Amino acid sequence: MIQSPAQLFALADLVDRADDLSEWTATIFNYGETAWREYRSAAWYIERLRAEGFDVEEGSAGMPTAFCADWRNGEGPVIGLYAEFDAVPGNCQAASTRREPRVGLGFQAGGHTDPHSGLGMAGLGALLAIKAAMTKHNIPGGLRFTGEPAEKVRGSKPIHAAAGYYDGLAAILSFHPFYMLPMCNTVRWDTHCGAAYAMVYRFICDTPEAWGLHDGAPIPQSHSAVRAPGANDALMMMYQASKSLRDAILPHQGGWSISEAILTAGQATADNLPAGLADLQYMIRVPTIAMADQVTVALDRNAEAAAAMTGCRYERHWVCKSRHGLANHAIATTVWQAMQAVGAPVWNEAAKVVAREIQTGLGMAPMAEPFIDAMSTLIDPQAAEAILRSDLPPSQLNSTSDDYTDMTWHAPTARFYVARPALKAPPGQAYPSWVMNALGGIPATIDPMVQTAAKIMALSALRLLEDPIARAAAMDEFKIRTGGGIGGSNWTAPLCDYPAPIHFSWPEYVTTSRGRDWWIPSSMPAV
């Protein structure tokens, strides 16, 4: 791909910003805030974006830790980029070559695993470089940068999509760190991610007296009275029933998964009062919306039965309803050309020293080339597609799950992957999970990914802004595949018909008279 003066300017700008991007990536990594509770991370982005001249809407679409930043350089096409910044509970790890939590916290606190700290900063770095190039070279158009909280529960993008935040964009660029073949240093072609539903089943025992109303106890509500089992028992019945019946919910094909997490379990008491409230979250990852609907019917049935058996009622609250993804070869080709121009990430000797130190600390022989070889090679999108399809039945159009898919129904969207740092394992050995998490926070190992992804996004966006033919090809394909664009005959409308689920007991950092801590005390013994 021949690079324009504006593209060359953007690349140079990113090199100039390298130290800042490294520092900023470390900042978000150290916040380690989890889904729906990313207060410091969102505030940091908002302050930075306003300082860079963007108009920023805080709390977009009713999500306190979401935002939407806009900038215009006159009339013209608008390109969309975004940041994710949520971490994962139970994965607190310092940017260190040994297993240790971040200062003042325990291992159960939040930590970046993918890492979204680097994902978001690559997007921000690209955004600022594109803006600088547009200003310098007088390129008309604009940029939209959305802050996407709670990606780990597929939270914000379906909500932003339904509220219209992706409408009117000429293109959207979606990046994610990855290291496993075939989705490493490549662009998705035909097989995009599938649908995902997530919900919280809330069991409420608000009339326990009705359960044993006629049991003949000499004193109403006495300790000897028959009493409702309560919400905790309902949760346990729902949990076990759904586990045992899982094989009967969907056919044994399609690469689907159902996972669960207990958010709230009654009260912290050993008294014999029935628990009044319990929350159980499910995440359903399936190729099609129809499969997700089928699972929901089965779970509803289990919840109704569990509630009836325990003197409770139940409520189902949506966390996520996301659509399957839509391919766009034209924009994928544009991004692939940019990826070829930039090349794969390169890990220098300083990064290798870090890697060898980890290997030595784990009792492994340090390797001359400790990083996985595929991380430094590009994979042609169609070659990656062929590898991916080899493990899928011909009838399955989508595979695995991610929420970027909601963007694909509102504008031409490219989903691409750049290698994150990962180490070779000696035969018969495996690395503990903290190693990947640490590599995502150590500047020497994560910065190459951030720089590479930012450069690819910057070149792709400027190509689309400067080249009306490339831009039109992507939009024409979008309209063909949707049967006319947004609202077209083949268009899948947003599934989100619920408010942001921010009021549940999502894990978070807390401040009390004892100081700041994670919701599970830091003094908890390490496991």
Distance of CA 15 to the CA centre of its chain: 27
Average pLDDT over residues 386-399: 90
What residues does 147 pair with on adjacent strands? 67, 83
Structure tokens, 463: 């190509």
162 plus 40 within the same structural domain: yes
Half-sphere exposure (CA, 13 Å, Cβ side) for 427? 0
Bond prior to 115 in cis (omega within 30° of 0): yes
DSSP state of 438: H
What residues does 516 pair with on adjacent strands? 511
Bond prior to 182 in cis (omega within 30° of 0): yes
Task: Report the amino acid identity of residue 487.
Answer: G
431, 396 in Cβ contact below 8 A? Answer: no
Q: Is residue 30 part of a domain?
A: yes
310 plus 401 within the same structural domain: no
Task: Report the amino acid identity of residue 13.
Answer: D
Q: What is the CATH number of the domain that holds 262?
A: 3.30.70.360
67 plus 205 within the same structural domain: no
147 plus 166 within the same structural domain: yes
78 plus 185 within the same structural domain: yes
User: What is the pLDDT, as a whole number, of residue 516?
Assistant: 86
Half-sphere exposure (CA, 13 Å, Cβ side) for 390? 8
User: What is the pLDDT, as a whole number, of residue 265?
Assistant: 83
Confidence of residue 272 (pLDDT cuts 50, 70, 90): confident
Measure the CA–CA gap between 345 and 422, rounded to whole angstroms.
12
Average pLDDT over residues 244-262: 85
Average pLDDT over residues 417-432: 95
Structure tokens, 214: 């006629």
Structure tokens, 26: 């470390």
User: What is the pLDDT, as a whole number, of residue 515?
Assistant: 85
**Inter-residue long-range contacts of 379-382, CB under 8 Å, 24+ positions, other chains counted:** 379/181, 379/182, 379/184, 379/185, 379/186, 380/186, 380/336, 381/186, 381/187, 381/188, 381/189, 381/332, 381/336, 382/189
pLDDT at position 366 over 90? yes
Residue labelled with tokens 């009622």: 313
Measure the CA–CA gap between 103 and 326, rounded to whole angstroms.
43
Output phi, psi for 362, to 5 deg: -95, 10
Measure the CA–CA gap between 32 and 85, rounded to whole angstroms.
8
Burial grade of 513 (CB within 10 A; 0-12, 13-18, 19 or more): exposed
418 plus 461 within the same structural domain: yes
178 plus 303 within the same structural domain: no
pLDDT top residue among 333 and 515: 333
Structural domain ending residue among the three candidates 444, 467, 482: 482
pLDDT at position 410 over 60? yes
Closest CA to 471 of 438, 479, 211: 479
pLDDT top residue among 111 and 220: 111
Measure the CA–CA gap between 344 and 178, rounded to whole angstroms.
12
Confidence of residue 450 (pLDDT cuts 50, 70, 90): very high
Burial grade of 303 (CB within 10 A; 0-12, 13-18, 19 or more): buried
Q: Which residues contact 443 (CB under 8 A, 6 or more apart)?
A: 22, 25, 26, 95
pLDDT at position 274 over 90? no
pLDDT at position 270 over 80? no
Q: Is residue 526 part of a domain?
A: no
Measure the CA–CA gap between 171 and 177, rounded to whole angstroms.
20
Measure the CA–CA gap between 497 and 316, rounded to whole angstroms.
13
pLDDT at position 448 over 70? yes
Average pLDDT over residues 394-398: 89
332 plus 423 within the same structural domain: yes
317 plus 353 within the same structural domain: no
Q: Which residues contact 338 (CB under 8 A, 6 or more apart)?
A: 1, 455, 456, 457, 459, 460, 463
pLDDT at position 527 over 60? no
Q: Is residue 511 part of a domain?
A: no
What are the CA-CA distances from residue 278 to residues 313, 454, 487 (Å)? 11, 43, 40
342 plus 262 within the same structural domain: no
12 plus 131 within the same structural domain: yes
Question: The pTM is what?
Answer: 0.94
Average pLDDT over residues 107-113: 95
Structural domain ending residue among the three candidates 322, 340, 366: 322
Confidence of residue 522 (pLDDT cuts 50, 70, 90): confident
Measure the CA–CA gap between 420 and 422, rounded to whole angstroms.
6
159 plus 213 within the same structural domain: no
Total domains present in the chain? 2
- The sign of the CA dihedral 122, 124, 127, 129 is negative
Structural domain ending residue among the three candidates 301, 322, 343: 322
Q: Is residue 487 part of a domain?
A: no
Confidence of residue 411 (pLDDT cuts 50, 70, 90): very high
Which residues form the domain of 247?
196-322
Residue labelled with tokens 């939040």: 110
Q: Quick: pLDDT tens for 121-178.
A: 999 999 999 999 999 999 999 999 999 999 999 999 999 999 999 999 999 999 999 9
Closest CA to 238 of 272, 276, 279: 279
Q: Is residue 491 part of a domain?
A: no
Q: What is the CATH number of the domain that holds 172?
A: 3.40.630.10
Q: Quick: pLDDT tens for 48-75.
A: 999 999 999 999 999 999 999 999 999 9
Average pLDDT over residues 259-288: 86
Q: How far apart are the first and last CA of the chain?
A: 51
Q: Is residue 495 part of a domain?
A: no
Beta strands in 12-131 (DSSP E): 55-58, 67-73, 78-84
User: What is the pLDDT, as a whole number, of residue 3?
Assistant: 87
Q: Is residue 516 part of a domain?
A: no
What is the spatial order of strands in the sheet that 313-322 belongs to? 257-265, 277-286, 195-204, 313-322
Q: Is residue 38 part of a domain?
A: yes
Q: Quick: pLDDT tens for 3-22.
A: 899 999 999 999 999 999 99
